[in-house]
Structure 1
Amino acid sequence: MDRRRIVITGMGAVTPVGKNVNALWESIKQGKCGVGPITLFDASTSSVKIAAEVKDFKPEDHGIDPKDAGRMARFTQFLLAASNEAIADAKLTEDDLRADTTGIVAGCGLGGMDVIDETFTQYIARGKRRVSPLAMPELIPNEGAANVSIALGITGCAWTIATACASGTDAIGVALDAVRSGRLDVCLAGGSESGITEYSIKSFAGMHALTDKFNDCPEKASRPFDKDRSGFVMGEGGAVLILEELGHAKARGAHIYAELAGYGASADAYHITSPKPDGEGCAKAFMRAMKDAGVTAEDIDYYNAHGTSTHLNDMTETAMLKIALGERAYKIKVSSTKSMTGHCVGAAGVCEAIISTLAIRDSFFPATINYETPDPECDLDYVPNKGVEGNIDVAASASLGFGGHNGVVIIKKFAE
C-alpha cells in the first residue's frame, strides 16, 4: 500500500520580525533583525536587557475577541493568531475544521511564563486568596492547543508537545505521523512561546545561556556560527502549518506550498542542557529524517539550522552536518534565521519550517546575519550577512532542545 503523501496548504506566523507570514518573509529576505531593548518588563536589574519581542501585538487585530484574550496567556494568543492566519490562507471552512479528521498538535517549551510571573508575585505579596482562579488553566503548556481547539471547534485531537527548543519541530513530526496514519486528513502543526519575563530571562541568564555582551547594540547580539558568539537571544511568537493529505487537498482545490516529506527524532541521552558535542545524537535525527523522506545527502540543498548563537550548539551542529551529510555538508547552504528572529523556543521549529518552505518557493537562501569573524570550528557555508538566490528542491530544518531532544523535518518542492 502506498504511503499517504502530506502537503503544506496554509501558514500563519506572529514573530519579532513580522506579525504575519508575508511580513516575516520580507524581513528575512531583507536581513532585518528583531532584537531590541526589553520592554515587556523592567530589565534595569537584569544583566540581560535585550530580547526579540513581538512589538505592538493586539489580539483583536488577529481575529481574537479581547474578552477571550483576557483569559489567555500571551503564548496562547500567539498560537491562536497564527492559527487564524493559517486557516484563512488554506481556505479551510468551518465544516473542514469541525470534521472528526481534523486535529491540532502544538509545541510549547515553557508555557505561560507571563502568568507565572504575575500570579506568583501576587501570591507572595498578598497571599493565596489573591491568586486568580484562571492562573493554572492559563499557564500550563497544553492550554495553547486547547484554546485553539475550543475557538475553532477542532475535535479530532488537541495535543501538546513539550521538548524544550525542539517542541515546534517535534509537533510537526507528530502531526505528520497522525495524517499519514489516516487518523487525520488535516492537522494544524504549530508552536508558540512567550518567555520574555523577568523570572525567565534571569533564570536563563543564570545558566549563562543568554548573551549579555550586546546590550548597547542589540541588533548585533544574535550571531550564530560567528567566533564572537556568546549566547542566544530570547525570542517569542507563534507559528502554524496546515498539513493535509494530498488527495484531500486536491479534492478541495487547495493551494500546495510544498510537500512535508519526512521527520526524524533522536535523544542524546547525554546531558540536561548541553548537546552531545560530537554531533552524533542529532545526526541520528537527521539521517532518520532523510530515510523517512526517501532522500539522500546529495538531495539536500538547504539546511535551516537550529543555530542558537551559543558556542557549544553551533560547533555541535556543524559536526552533526558532517556526520549526516559527509562531503555534501560543504556544498549546501546553511543558515540560522535566529540571527534575525532570536530564539523563539517552542515556536522556533515551526517558524523555521515556514521560512524553509518559502525559501523553496522563491528559490532564495536566507542569510545568517552578524557573521563577521569566521570560527575554525564552524567551517561550512552559512550564507553570511546577505541572502542569495538559488534553486532549492529539498530543504531540512532542525531543532535541538535542552535535555537532548533532536528533531529534523525534510521539506520538498511539490511535484505530482
Structure 2
Amino acid sequence: MNKVYITGTSIISALGNNKKDSVQKIQDIDDNNYYEYLKNNFEELKYYRIKKTFKSNKEKFYSILEEVVLKAIEDAKLSKEESEDLHIFLGSTSMSISIIEEEHLKYKKNESKYEIKNIGYGEIGIFVENLINSKYNSTIIQTACTSSVNAICYANDLIKNKKIKRALVIGFEFFNNSTFKGFESLMLLSQSGEYKPFDINSDGLILGEACSAVILESDKKEENDFEIISYNNSFDSYSVTSSNPDGEVTLLCMEEAIKKANLSIEELTCLKAHATGSENSNLSEVTAIDKLFKKYKKQTDVVVLKPYIGHTLGACGTNEIVLLCESIKSSFLPKTINFYEKYSDVDFTPLLENKKIDKATILFHFIGFGGSNTSIILSNKS
C-alpha cells in the first residue's frame, strides 16, 4: 500500500489571506489583545470574517476558491500535467448557499427571473475541474462539521490503495443567513461574543468563514511533509444536534485511531480538539478526552484553534489541519486563548502558552451534527 503525504496547502480565513500571515497572527494574538482581534472581526454580527471586499457573494465565493486552489497547487510544486491528474474532493456544510440567497433576493426585487437558479452544487465541482483542467469529476462530501476531514480520509484511502495518484481536497464555508439563523434558532451562538471553548463559563460558539485546500500524494516532497498515519470514524446516535454527554463515542473514535497507528498517548505531540464552545459539545468532548487520559494514565498537550478563526463547520477539517501543521513547521504549538476555568473533576487543561517544537505527531478530532466523529493522526517525524 502507498503512503500518503500532504505536499501542499493554502488557506484564507479571518486570520489572514495566506498561511504565512495566518501563522504569524496566531503567534501575535494573546489574552491581552484578543478582544481587539474580535472587535476587528465583528461588524454587525459576531462572526469571524474573511477580510476581503467583493461586489457580490458569487464573486467572493469563486475568487477565493480559485486563489486557494491555485496556491495549494503552487505550494505542492505540481506541473501542469500533475495538476490535471488531481482528483477533486469538496467538503462543506453550506456549499454555495450564500450565492443562492443572493440570487433569490434579486428575484424578490425583480432583478432576476430565477427564483432558484441552481439545484444542487455540481457547478462548484465543474468550476474547479475547469480551473485546473482536471480529467476527473469532482466528489462532494457533506457530513456536517466532519465534511472536509472525511474528504481527506476518503482521498487517503484511494491513494493508499492505488486507485488514484493524487488528490486536491478543498474545505470551504462562507457566511450565509440560513446557517447563521439556524444556529441562532438552536441557541448555540455565544451571546457575549467571547469564544471560550472548554471553559466552564463558555456561553456558545461563534461561526466563521474560511477556505483551505490540501494536496495529497504518495511521494514525500519536503522533509517536513506530514504523513497521514491513521484515521477512524464513529457515529453517535444520541441526537441529531448534540453529542452524548458521556463522551463514549468520541472516546472510542480517538482510541481506535491511536490503536490503528500503533501509537501510545505519550507518543502524541498533541491532541487537536474539536472544541466548538457549545455547552453540550464542550462537556461531551472534555469528558471523552479526560476519560482517554485517565484510562491509559497518560496525557498529551491539548490544542484548541476555533478562538482564532471561529467554527468553520464543514471546512474546519482542512482549515485546522493546515493551520496546525503550518504552526508546527514554524516550530511552535499554538496556545489556547481566552481559557480560564476548567470543568470540575477534569484533570487536564488545554495548552495555555505557545510551545516550541521541531516535529510532531498529532491526533486531530472533529465532531459533526448527525453524530459523525472523525479522528485522524498526522506526523512529520519520520
TM over 0.5, yes or no?
yes
Partner AA of 1:239 in structure 2 = S
**1:144 is aligned to 2:124:** yes
Q: Is the 8 A contact 1:75 1:193 kept in 2?
A: no
Alpha-carbon distance in structure 1 between the residues aligned to 2:297 and 2:354: 18
Structure 1, unmatched stretches of 5+, are 44-48, 59-65, 215-220
Amino acid at match of 2:326: L
Change (3 A) 1:230 1:159: same
Among 353, 377, 382, the alignment partner of 1:410 is: 377
CA distance in 2, matches of 1:320, 1:275: 11
CA distance in 1, matches of 2:287, 2:344: 12
CA distance 1:324–1:22, change in 2 (3 Å): same
Match of 2:28 in 1: 30
Q: 1:211 to 1:117 in 2, by over 3 A?
A: same
Distance change in 2, residues 1:198/1:174 (3 Å):
same
Instruction: Answer yes or no: is 1:109 the counterpart of 2:98.
Output: no
Contact 2:359 2:381 in 1 (8 A): no
What amino acid sits opposite 2:114 in the alignment? V
Pairing partner for 2:8 from 10, 22, 31: 10
- Work out the CA distance in 2 between the residues paired with 1:388 and 1:57: 35
Match of 1:165 in 2: 145
User: Is 1:202 paired with 2:186?
Assistant: no
Q: Could you tell me which residue of structure 2 aligns to residue 217 of structure 1? A: none
1:289 corresponds to 2:261: no
Q: Which residue of 1 aligns with 2:337?
A: 369
- 2:4 and 2:160 in contact (8 A); partners too: yes
Q: Distance in 1 between matches of 2:288 and 2:126?
A: 36
State how far apart, in whole Å, the 1-side matches of 2:24 and 2:346 are.
28
- Write the distance in 1 (CA, Å) between the matches of 2:342 and 2:308: 18
Q: Name the stretch that deviates more: 17-26 or 276-285.
A: 276-285
User: Would the aligned equivalents of 2:68 and 2:212 in 1 still touch at CA under 8 Å?
Assistant: yes
Alignment partner of 1:130: what SS?
coil
Task: Give the CA deviation at 1:390.
Answer: 3.6
Q: CA shift at 1:351, angstroms? A: 1.2
Are residue 95 (structure 1) and residue 81 (structure 2) matched?
yes
1:130 counterpart letter in structure 2: K
Aligned-pair CA distance for 1:256: 4.8
CA deviations on 1:150-204 (whole Å, 9 max, x unpaired) are 210122441111011111211111111111111112111221011x233432221
Aligned counterpart, 2:363? 396
Distance 1:265 1:35 in 2: 33
Task: State the 1:35 CA deviation.
Answer: 3.6
Offset of residue 259 of structure 1? 1.1
Q: What SS does the corresponding residue of 1:320 show, helix, strand or coil?
A: helix
2:199 matched to which residue of 1?
226
User: Which secondary structure state, in structure 2, belongs to the residue aligned with residue 202 of structure 1?
Assistant: helix
Where do residues 179-218 of structure 1 align in structure 2 (5 Å cutoff)? 179-194=159-174, 196-214=175-193
- One-letter identity of the residue aligned with 2:254: F
Q: d(CA) in 1 for partners of 2:62 and 2:95?
A: 9
Is residue 328–residue 357 contact of structure 2 (8 Å, CA) maintained in 1?
no
Residues 1:355 and 2:323 are matched in the alignment: yes
Match of 1:175 in 2: 155
Amino acid at match of 2:118: M
The separation in 2 between residues aligned to 1:254 and 1:286, in whole angstroms, is 28
Listed one character per residue, the Cα deviations across residues 282-337 of structure 1 (whole Å, up to 9, x for unaligned) are: 22322232233332323222011111111211221122223445456862111211
Task: Judge which range, 142-151 or 277-286, deviates more.
Answer: 142-151
Distance between the aligned counterparts of 2:298 and 2:349, measured in 1? Answer: 7
Distance 1:256-1:363 versus aligned 2 partners, 3 A rule? closer
RMSD: 2.6
User: Of residues 77, 92, 114 in structure 2, which corresponds to 1:131?
Assistant: 114
Output the TM-score relative to the length of structure 2. Answer: 0.89
What does the per-residue CA deviation read over 1:18-49, in whole Å, with 9 as the maximum and x for residues that have no partner? 1111111111222365544554xxx4xxxxx2
* 2:69 corresponds to: 83
Cα distance change, pair 14–364 in 1 and its aligned pair in 2 (3 A) = same
Could you tell me which residue of structure 2 aligns to residue 63 of structure 1?
A: none
Measure the CA separation in 1 of the matches of 2:319 and 2:299. 25
| CA offsets 1:349-382 (integer angstroms, 9 cap, x no match) | 1111112323443442211111123332654230
Q: Is 1:52 matched with 2:38?
A: no
Counterpart code for 1:81: E
- Aligned partner of 1:265 in structure 2 is 233
Contact map agreement 1:307 1:313 (CA 8 A) in 2: yes
Q: State which of 230, 234, 241 in structure 1 corresponds to 2:214.
A: 241
Deviation at 1:13, TM superposition (A): 0.4
Cα gap change, 1:79 to 1:225, in 2 (>3 Å): same
Q: Tell me, yes or no, if the aligned pair for 2:91 and 2:172 is still in contact at 8 Å.
A: yes
Q: Name the CA distance, whole Å, in 2 between partners of 1:229 and 1:120.
A: 36
Equivalence for 2:243:
275
> How far has the Cα of 1:392 moved from its partner?
4.8
Indicate conservation of the 8 Å contact 2:92/2:148, yes or no: yes
**Distance in 2, Cα, partners of 1:377 & 1:146:** 51
Mapped partners of 1:159, 1:293: distance in 2:
27
**Equivalent residues of 1:192, 1:236 under 8 A apart:** yes
* Cα displacement (A) at 1:278: 1.1
- State the SS of the aligned residue for 1:406: strand
What amino acid does structure 1 have at the position aligned with 2:272?
N
Q: State the number of aligned residues.
A: 376
Structure 1 residues 378, 155: closer, same or farther in 2, change over 3 A? farther
TM-score (norm. length: structure 1): 0.83
Q: Give 1:226 deviation, angstroms.
A: 1.4
* Runs of 5+ unmatched residues, structure 2: none
Matched residue, 2:102: 118
Q: What is the CA distance between 1:5 and its match in structure 2?
A: 0.8
More displaced stretch, 76-85 vs 363-372: 76-85
